[in-house]
Amino acid sequence: MVSAVEAGRARPELGATRFADVRRFASIGSTNAWLVGQARQGAPEGLVAVADHQEAGRGRLGRTWSDRPGAALLVSVLLRPALSAERLHLASVVVALAAADACLDQAGVVPQLKWPNDLLLDSRKLAGVLAEGVVEGGQVRAVVVGLGLNLRWPEDPPPDMAAGGISLDQRVGWEVDRDRILTALLVALEPRYAALADEAGQAAQAGEYRRRCATLGQVVRIEMMDETFTGTVVDVTAEGHLLVDVGTCLRRVTAGDVVHLR
Ligand code: BTN
């Protein structure tokens, strides 16, 4: 349910980016779902939705993503990347990298990346990324990439957050301004996303992801719908899949949960 929307209150820094049209909601079902609907109606690339609270926030692997009002940055961006199907994951990669840039810019911390696109501080989850493709006529016409980033530890955190999460204020000791970190994120995203227009830029963003991905080289437990196994992560492929050495062979993981063991 959309309870309020305020359009176009862009900060001047966003004027030079494609992300100047920021729609703000006090409460919404899901910023991702709203932008998917906008994309289907032909909304242009760069539209941004940000909410104080989501009533039906979506997480990876069909999960829900719960929040406490005002405690997190809940934002989605509408992208229309000219990427082949096997490179589409780079749309979420650049959002995760830009979120890490914004954490450094606004809080002075450098989160690690955990496959596929979580941000970690002190091995705990600071943020998650969810990409949803908008398919029309058998083609991906748009990708909506959403980010949930914990800014403040609430009095009554949602169970997932309580179990393995962290918020920026726990690390830095003060509350980062939501609007400022949103602006920093979108400013950082502009050149990273623009780089995806050519092969060299794609390779550069993928390379940076690999260098910063804490999952590479880790002994991990992979938890999939129907199976769990352990192994050592030896690579992330050009398609964004994980290659895990299980002793007898290399296994390719396209979707699932990863637990870092050491
Ligand atoms: C994950 O499971 O780790 C991904 C969580 C992504 C949550 C964000 S919050 C803003 C956007 N809207 C949604 O419904 N989900 C994403």
Tens of pLDDT, residue by residue, the chain (262 residues)? 455 455 545 588 999 999 999 999 999 999 999 999 999 999 999 999 999 999 999 999 999 999 999 999 999 999 999 999 999 999 999 999 999 999 999 999 999 999 999 999 999 999 999 999 999 999 999 999 999 999 999 999 999 999 999 999 999 999 999 999 999 999 999 999 999 999 999 999 999 999 999 999 999 999 998 999 999 999 999 899 999 999 999 999 999 999 999 7
User: Beta-carbon neighbour count of residue 172 at 10 Å?
Assistant: 15
Asked if 103 contacts 168 with a C-beta cutoff of 8 angstroms, the reply is yes
- Given this model, what pLDDT does residue 1 score? 47
Asked if 90 contacts 206 with a C-beta cutoff of 8 angstroms, the reply is yes
Contacts for 157 with CB less than 8 Å, ≥ 6 apart = 68, 165
251 CA distance to ligand 1 middle (Å): 27
Tell me the C-alpha distance between 260 and 233, whole Å: 10
- For the Cβ of 46 lying below 6 angstroms from any atom of ligand 1, the answer is no
Question: For a substitution probing ligand 1, which of 22, 61, 74 has the most ligand atoms within 8 Å of its CB?
Answer: 74
Counting atoms of ligand 1 from 1, which one is nearest the CA of 72?
9
- For the Cβ of 157 lying below 6 angstroms from any atom of ligand 1, the answer is no
Least Cα distance to 24 among 182, 188, 193, 144 occurs for 182
- Given this model, what pLDDT does residue 12 score? 87
- For the Cβ of 57 lying below 6 angstroms from any atom of ligand 1, the answer is yes
